[in-house]
Structure 1
Amino acid sequence: MNQQWTAFNQISKMLDTNQSIELNVHKIIEIIVDSIPQADAGFFLLWKDDLQCLTIDAAVNFQQQHYMNTRLKQNEGISGKVYTSGQGVMLNSAAEIDYLMGNMRKPNKKYYLDSFVHYGEPKNCISVPIEYNEERFGVFTVDNFLNDGDFSMDDFNFLQAIAFQVAIAIRLSCDIQKSQQRTRDLENSITIHQKLNQHILEGHSIEQLILYLDTLTNDPYFLLNAVGNLEFSSRNFDRALNFISSLIDANFHENWKNQQYISIYDGQNCYLHIFRVSSSVYISGFLVIKTNKPHLPLMTQLTITHAASIIAMAQMKQRNSFERELQKRQSLLALLTDYNQSIELRTLCTYYFETDRFLSIMTIEHHFLISSDFTSLLNFEKRLNDTLSHTKIILIPTKNRIYCIIGSTTKQNSTVQNVINNFLPECRFFTGRSVKSFDNLYLSYMDIEFILFINKIDNKISYTSFKDLGVFRYLLQLSDDEKIIFVEDELALLMKEKNSRELLDTLLTYFEHKKNAALTAQYLHLHINSIYYRLTQIETLLQIDLADFQNNINLYSALFLEKYVYHKKKQLHVIQ
């Protein structure tokens, strides 16, 4: 990706000169082929109005004496079809290539085959139109004869971006030939384009690039996502945004066709010029300039179009970075899921947190966060970290909840919860213990797993913190075999009875209602005498006294673990 971005910038600089496109096109083809790993050949075709056909003006790894004779009509071969339809293609099989080349006229097919430098026909091919604002100039096509592997969508998007830049250069070249007066405007445009490129190459953000556009035209700019939600504004919130958002829906995307931008009157003496931020695959957003002019000067159009193209490239690079970050965080969560204490876990924790911090894990359940994409989640995380002092958090999304790892100078997590609730009211939190070591962070994760499990198997209880579990969190850390042994030691005589479930449930309910027989009878919809009878039966079978405190502790702990073991057996039975 970095190699292609460098190539994109290099080609942009070549195009932003006073030299004609014909002088640079062979070098451009060479750069393209070198920047796409699987590519080993390529050619550049221009449409000639006087001949009504495509001709090959430059090529890499094809023999010039043969390909110079090629004359492709509309819809002829791969390049002819791409030129006519305006739709690029990525072909990753020889069968697809043969099929689309099937209608080539014999002379052109012979010139093409004779021009091969490599033995055999290509295995892969990408072909994209060179066009700007519904004006089509030609086609870029790259082939793979010898390399292993297929072309990727990143390769396709890269070639599409280069084709668009070349189309702008061709369009500019035509305009310059018509009017020498535009030379000064072109020089200014070149400087601006280079500064726009430099903004991204020097590590400036998309937001800084949009602020720079504002200084160029002294007009407000808005960057919206694909569904019309504001991502950044060069000035304060504007009522025009509501108007734009109301226009952007599924049909709005379809209406673009091949237009790079559209202009809309907002009914308030202002015009909104809306530019697509897009790859060849989908529209990722819109760059909007608000002016009092119904039409934009050509150079302004080209500058904003170039900026939109850079933003699309930067977003693509940013998405790749976000995907790597998400994978890193999911790896951290997976290590905690395995109760891992490995060097890999410590390395990941050190990447995010200082070593002298209290660490804990908290889960957040809220429909907005769970339905958000990772980019929005990172923006929310940044807002939280900017608000919190002496505390850092990272958010890790899963299907049903968001895991929040907290590193702080104190053990208190209530501050984090309060800040989150200020932004998103009605969040539901589950909190694990604080630990002082990366190696023990899995204990905090384990607390949450226990809390979620107990809440799931007993809807009468609602635990939200590891403290709510009390001594149970230590009982749950016993191995399954130890749990079963303890349960059998305390309850085996009850569990052998035919009405064992009835007796166990009665005893547990009795404890949960603070040994109040009347409340127990009310909850179980039984007469109080039935409760007394069952309690007497339990004391007789177990040969214990329910008034004894130690007996109560042992029995209540065993009943808790019995419920855990019983539910786990049910889960295993379902799985089997």
Structure 2
Amino acid sequence: MSSENNMERRLNTFIQVSKNITTNDSLKELIQQIIEDVIGAIDKADAGFLLLWNEESQYLEIEAAVNFKEDIYLQNKLLEGEGISGTVFAEGKSMLINTIEEIEKAMSNMRNKTLQYYLKSTVHALMPVSCMSVLLVYQQQKIGVLTIDNFKNDGFFTEEDLRFLEAIGSQIAISIVNARAFYEKQQRALQLETILELHNQLNETVLEGNGMQSLVKSLARNPNDCIYYFDSLGRLDISHPISSVEIPFLSDWIRQNRINLQTQQLQKIYKDEELFGQALSVQSSFGTIGYLVITGKSVPLDIVGELSFQHAASIIAIEQIKLQEQLKNRQAEKEALLKDILNSHFTPEVQSYLKKQEMIPAKYFVFLVIKSKQHSFDELNQLNLLEEGMRQVFKKEFSVMIFPNRNKLFLLLGAKKKEAGNVQVIRQYVERLQSIYKEIVVYIGRPVYSMRHLPMSYKDAELLEKEMESHQREESVFDFQSLGYKRYLFNVPEEEAEYFVENILGPILSKSNNRTKNEWLSTLQNYLQSNKNVTKTAESMHLHQNTVYYRLQQIQEKLNCDFDDLDDVTNLKVALFLYERREQNGER
């Protein structure tokens, strides 16, 4: 080929490189076209590749190539200073090498993995016979390297070829930088359009009142994505699609990473050292109210996904605040309703509400107190689910209303049939309830046949809770019959109780640190608690039976009573109950 034709062809290459920025739809296509044009302008060139520097990964990455196998070369990444291209990038100087031996020497510092990738990716499966490589630099900033090879053509690259490559390299660098800015601008415009569209979809979902489930569903842009919303304690609230496989792992991860999640930035979730998902906390004026989590092929999220996730978190926060206010108002209404019921203020409004809850006409009514170590009754957003769950348990025989009260729950049951008012029937349903809500303790008040008598059932349940908790019993269900005569002793005036205790137990009460009197009192307490069984009393106090007999004889003499006399024993039990109650109140 004549030198004039060669010059014309190279000039056309310069022009084409400048034009390519407006004729290609992507930066990758632009770079591929550039390297094809450059190889076409150099007679002896039959292969080559263009590498760009990745500032984040600190690698030179092959963006396009000619006569190299794409599926292999895309895996290859060079360190700065590695091989011919890496050395050119590190030193900032062009290289022209025209012997296989010198080429092998220049490539001898390559890692074995990258060298094997290079050899496997060449179409000719050989070392080139001639090679030249130039730095791509724009305004003193190194952006990449252009390397051209000759595997099969006769002859070698010349200094003139290298000067052309350096000149075109400067033009290529300008084109790439301008193209990046152009494509980034296009990408930002497209992203902005997509973000606005997604935001509008999320806003419409909320405005249409479709609920949290639809909101979470709209975040799943890829069919293989799974979106979760966990509450502030790391418990699953909603998922799309419905899944339970990874929930324990994600719940544990959230609990372990609460501090990091407070930054309100997307946090990466790793499982078995691989990226598994991302999580974002949902914040409001109440603090952290929940967590959004995504797993699937969209991870890690692009800028559109991140902004959509953050927008969704803001919407959820607003919706949760609204819900909290609604639930607070509902709780205030329930507190007022409970107060009206206990004061027998059955106004038309109260009766209307009770009819809606199917409490009127019920045959029997009963109050239950429910306490739990696992479930918090202060979480308003859980009360709806809790009430619905309890309705499902009791619905066959009872109407149900719940009244949250700090760390416990008052449950009002209205028996649909007279037979359901039996305590044993109620106990059967309580056992079903305990199979669902683990570790709850239930206190059952007395069933009453009139709503005007409900204060008695309420009082029974409340007193039963106080009495049984103070004795630290192992049972988890107690009913009003456990109180027996004691329910009437809670209302005895304090002064009257003191006189009664002094009259009955005075001689054995320890007004000073008198060891003997303390022994008499503890022996009497254990004796009556064991139903006057001397053997059990001795075992519980780690005493010989003769010692117990001796003390009991002394107590009868001191108190002038007979343990075989029913009235005397009743007086002793009442006095001991009032004494123990006084001591407990004193400790408080």
TM-score (norm. length: structure 2): 0.52
Alignment partners' CA distance in 2, 1:352 and 1:176 = 63
2:560 corresponds to 1:555: no
Contact 1:370–1:402, Cα closer than 8 Å, also in 2 = no
Q: Indicate the SS of the match to 1:557.
A: helix
Residues 1:383 and 1:298: Cα distance change in structure 2 (over 3 Å): same
Q: Indicate the SS of the match to 1:368.
A: coil
State the AA in 2 paired with 1:208.
Answer: S
State the AA in 1 paired with 2:412.
Answer: I
**Aligned pair count?**
387
Contact 1:224–1:286, Cα closer than 8 Å, also in 2 = yes
Q: Which residue of 1 aligns with 2:368?
A: 362
Pick from 564, 568, 577 the counterpart of residue 564 of structure 1.
Answer: 577
Gaps of 5+ in 1: 1-174
2:305 corresponds to 1:285: no
RMSD: 4.9
Q: Which residue of 2 aligns with 1:492?
A: 503
Q: Indicate the SS of the match to 1:527.
A: helix
User: 1:131-146 to 2 correspondence within 5 Å?
Assistant: none
Contact 1:395–1:405, Cα closer than 8 Å, also in 2 = yes
Q: Which residue of 2 aligns with 1:199?
A: 205
Q: Which residue of 1 aligns with 2:411?
A: 404
Superposed CA offset, 1:280-317 (max 9, x none):
78443333333424565665555444333221211121
Alignment partners' CA distance in 2, 1:536 and 1:256 = 68
Residues 1:308 and 1:510: Cα distance change in structure 2 (over 3 Å): closer
Superposed CA offset, 1:330-351 (max 9, x none):
5566778xx6434589939837
Q: Which residue of 1 aligns with 2:231?
A: 225
User: 1:477-516 to 2 correspondence within 5 Å?
Assistant: 479-480=492-493, 484=497, 487=500, 492=503, 495=506, 511-516=528-533
2:330 corresponds to 1:316: no
Superposed CA offset, 1:465-512 (max 9, x none):
211223443x33654379649947xx8376467898877766665555
**Cα shift at 1:204:** 2.6
Pick from 476, 494, 497 the counterpart of residue 489 of structure 2.
Answer: 476
**Cα shift at 1:408:** 3.7
Alignment partners' CA distance in 1, 2:572 and 2:474 = 15
Superposed CA offset, 1:377-400 (max 9, x none):
543443332344233445555565
Contact 1:360–1:441, Cα closer than 8 Å, also in 2 = yes
Residues 1:472 and 1:227: Cα distance change in structure 2 (over 3 Å): closer
Residues 1:345 and 1:406: Cα distance change in structure 2 (over 3 Å): farther
Gaps of 5+ in 2: 1-181, 511-516
**Cα shift at 1:422:** 1.3
State the AA in 2 paired with 1:404.
Answer: L
Alignment partners' CA distance in 2, 1:471 and 1:230 = 46
Pick from 431, 446, 466 the counterpart of residue 480 of structure 2.
Answer: 466
Residues 1:535 and 1:179: Cα distance change in structure 2 (over 3 Å): closer
Alignment partners' CA distance in 1, 2:428 and 2:349 = 26
Q: Which residue of 1 aligns with 2:441?
A: 428
Q: Which residue of 1 aligns with 2:113?
A: none
Pick from 527, 550, 553 the counterpart of residue 530 of structure 1.
Answer: 550
Residues 1:564 and 1:306: Cα distance change in structure 2 (over 3 Å): same
The structure with the largest alpha-carbon Rg is 2
Alignment partners' CA distance in 2, 1:269 and 1:461 = 47
Alignment partners' CA distance in 2, 1:494 and 1:268 = 71
Q: Which residue of 2 aligns with 1:13?
A: none
Residues 1:563 and 1:324: Cα distance change in structure 2 (over 3 Å): farther
Alignment partners' CA distance in 2, 1:440 and 1:369 = 30
2:359 corresponds to 1:347: no
Residues 1:568 and 1:279: Cα distance change in structure 2 (over 3 Å): closer
2:391 corresponds to 1:385: yes
Contact 1:433–1:443, Cα closer than 8 Å, also in 2 = yes
Q: Which shifted more, 233-242 or 245-254?
A: 245-254
TM-score (norm. length: structure 1): 0.53
Alignment partners' CA distance in 2, 1:453 and 1:283 = 34
Residues 1:486 and 1:352: Cα distance change in structure 2 (over 3 Å): farther
